[in-house]
Amino acid sequence: MKRQIVLKEGIIRDKKDLQEFILKSGSREAVEAEILKARRTEMPVKFTNTIENKYKDFSLLQIEERFKKFSGEDFGIEKALITRNTDDLENGIIKRGVIGNTYYWYDSHQDVHVGNTFKKSISDKNGDFSKTFFIADHEKTFSAIAGYLESVKEKDVYWRDLGVNKEGKTRVLWADAVYRQKDHSKLYDMVLENKVDQYSVGMIYQKYQIAMKSDDPDFADYNTTWDKYINKLGNQDQAEEDGLFFAISEAKLDHLSPVLRASNIVTMTVPNEKSEPGEPTPKHKTEEEPPNSTQRINRLLI
């Protein structure tokens, strides 16, 4: 479900709410500052049920169809990335490539990560991710520790390798994550059974722009941001339906969490295929044979 942005003036659900708040306030800068303040204090977020307000005039079927768009059920292409990590089952240690966030994807927070959202934050860590916690469900407790992050980076990949029917590339937040049985035995077992396939980042917003489709000259800069990014989105139709998103250009990375349902559903534990020395590289099949570019990506990840 979509998160509501709660300000002292009320709740932002779509571009109509935003426009009303700005007109009422008389200051776009004040509203933008309030949005940033709210987002910095709400992460990680809790989802709220919007059926009784924005969707009060919708039938139950319409509501289900609306939320289905954010669930990943409409994407039928099999994800085509591969890693080859060796499991150390004797010592209870397994390593997996993890995609914690996919950029240029309109998520259920109405966020779209653009450019190099986490580049500065990653650089500031100087290769030390010991304080970038790898925890289940955003819970900052000892019992939620899943293991640790060996490395984190931004990486360009093809949309089709992520299961999205779009040509070209996007950028992802990639982590080499180590699950340890002694830290979280249940998650450890679920990863071995390929049952963990959604991730969410805990972050602190630093810079963002409002992207809003509008012919109103008072919102020309919002429309410019909209035009700059809208065609790059992997789920452009969802953003166009609401006419509003928040382009996040910089954020601090606090932690990474395996979750049951992520706000950005194009996240995953990258399939891990093991082979004997000298065995040819396996192909991870899609419904259609992947293009040569996809096969190149597969080889790079081995």
58 belongs to a structural domain: no
Rounded to two decimals, the pTM is 0.74
Rg of the chain taking only CA atoms, in angstroms: 20
Total number of domains in the chain: 1
Ranges of the chain whose pLDDT falls below 50: 1-4, 6-9, 42-79, 275-302
Average pLDDT, the chain: 78
The span from the CA of 124 to the CA of 254, in Å, is: 12
224 belongs to a structural domain: no
Range of the domain at 201: 93-206+246-300
- Which long-range contacts does 8-17 make (Cβ < 8 Å, 24+ apart)? 8/34, 9/34, 11/53, 13/50, 13/53, 13/54, 14/54, 14/242, 14/243, 14/244, 15/212, 15/213, 15/214, 15/242, 15/243, 15/244
Q: What are phi and psi of 271, to 5 degrees?
A: -50, 135
196 belongs to a structural domain: yes
Tens-digit pLDDT profile for residues 6-24 = 444 456 666 777 777 777 7
Task: Give the pLDDT confidence score for residue 284 in this predicted structure.
Answer: 33
Q: What are phi and psi of 292, to 5 degrees?
A: -55, -35
172 belongs to a structural domain: yes
Strands 133-134 and 111-113 turn out to be: unpaired
The span from the CA of 90 to the CA of 190, in Å, is: 17
SS3 151: strand
67 belongs to a structural domain: no
225 belongs to a structural domain: no
Task: Give the pLDDT confidence score for residue 252 in this predicted structure.
Answer: 95
AA letter at 52: E
Task: Give the pLDDT confidence score for residue 12 in this predicted structure.
Answer: 65
